[in-house]
A and B are shown apart, each in its own frame.
Chain A
Amino acid sequence: MNTEQKVLEASAVTITKSLLLDLEELSRHAGEPCSAVFADSILRKMRSMVDKCKGDPYTEVVLALHDALAHQNRWLDYTKKQYKGAYDLFLSLVNQKAINNTVVENSIIALEDLGFNTLPFSVKFDDNSQDEDEL
């Protein structure tokens, strides 16, 4: 690992660590109006990783949770228990010196298992258009 990559990973870990405070607060206040304070905070930090920490494995996990929370304000729909699960997951990640692709994949599955929809985008396919007569 070169110096540049070490600095990059340190930065990604640092930002990921900073998410823990917001996740902890969301695990206490999910469903309350004041949860917006922490949702706003965590989403901004998550988006900053797109600019600052491209290609980092931590960013990959964080963006999976970002998509689940950001789309159509679904952060409002998740429960205290789910946020606690996300907190525990990210705590375990930042306690590791570095994470590899397998850890990333397991973390995405863990988020899905917690009920976070990391593929929340709706697309409609008009399958009838393929049924045109071919004779």
Chain B
Amino acid sequence: MEDKSIGRQEKEHFLDTSVVRSLLLATPIYQNYLSSLLSNQKLYISNYVQMEIKRSYLMNLISFYFILRLDAIKTIGEAISLWSNRFKGSELKAILQFIPQFFGDYQLRTDNTQDKEDSLFALANYIKRFEFLLRTRYKLINDATICYRSLVPLEVDLNDPIPGLRAFVSEFGDVKTCRSRCQIDQFLLNQYRSEVEKLIETASNLPRNTNTRGFLNIVNNLREILATGAAACDCKKCEKIGDAVIALNAPRSMQLEHTDIAFNYLCPPINQPHYKHASENQVIMNIPVLNDDED
């Protein structure tokens, strides 16, 4: 891998969601890899990046909390069974990886009804700490989308965590209200319209393959937004173009740090400096990563 250490000392770094999530949740080997490249650097994220992590991880943790709290659920094991049988998808499976590790460390038994209350308390405590560290660990840049979901507070009183958790889920899940207060349409259709058009033009010259697929899917959604206008901008659509939003909003003076290959196509057309890090699998298996198009 090319040595980027000199350039790294001079730049500020804007972290994509995948990098932040890995710094918070990856295996020690991968965390060490990222930390070796990013520690002692000026690291920035945005409220939008925080929102993506809350959407993909924190919301599911809170949902599991309420599954476990159900009167009909007597043990951690029953909650795990219900979760694994009824919910699928990468983000939902992530909870199944977390739960055994977490409760195991507390010596809480998955088959013991007496451990349920302690489990709920320990989990609420972790949820509160995770949100706090996500909110405070990195410096913030301005979020030009003014994502309202990202501003929904999570205020957990550990003596009575239910109201705070429920209020968060309710407000975060109220995408109609959140959308009515954000400016994603202005962001895409006015502020960064020319950049969006450049991305669409770039995509028109690319073949569809495993490397370009993610980028092309994003561009298809951007194309639809440009064609339809503000009515096409909702939180579901925003989720599909999240990498584009992050690339567009990244300060051009900063280097965007990412692991998703889509950024290799999103960044050059808009002159956004970027660096693609090896994936967790590549680091664990010691496979080199190429950054041919890095600035």
Residue of A nearest to B27 (CB): A122
Query: Residue A63 at the B interface, CB < 8 A?
Result: yes
Query: Residue A97 at the B interface, CB < 8 A?
Result: no
> With the chains together, A133 CA to B208 CA distance in Å?
10
Q: Which residues of A contact B24 (CB under 8 A)?
A: 119
CB pair B133 A125 closer than 8 Å: no
CB pair A121 B133 closer than 8 Å: no
Q: Which residues of A contact B280 (CB under 8 A)?
A: 124
Q: Which residues of A contact B106 (CB under 8 A)?
A: 47, 50, 66, 70
Residue of B nearest to A105 (CB): B132
CB pair A123 B158 closer than 8 Å: no
* Among A56, A71, A105, contact of B105 (Cβ-Cβ < 8 Å): A71
* Among B18, B121, B133, B240, contact of A108 (Cβ-Cβ < 8 Å): B133
Q: Which residues of B contact A50 (CB under 8 A)?
A: 106, 118, 121-122
On whether A131 and B213 interact (CB within 8 A), knowing A50-B121, A55-B158, A123-B98, the answer reads: yes
B132 to A: closest C-beta gap in Å: 6
Q: Which residues of A contact B26 (CB under 8 A)?
A: 122-124
B122 to A: closest C-beta gap in Å: 5
Residue of A nearest to B280 (CB): A124
On whether A108 and B217 interact (CB within 8 A), knowing A50-B122, A123-B94, A127-B260, the answer reads: no
* Among B97, B122, B159, B220, contact of A63 (Cβ-Cβ < 8 Å): B122
Residue ranges of B at the interface with A (Cβ–Cβ < 8 Å) = 18, 21, 24-28, 56-57, 89-91, 93-94, 97-98, 101-102, 105-107, 117-118, 121-122, 125-126, 128-130, 132-133, 136-137, 157-160, 208, 213-214, 217, 220-221, 240, 259-260, 280
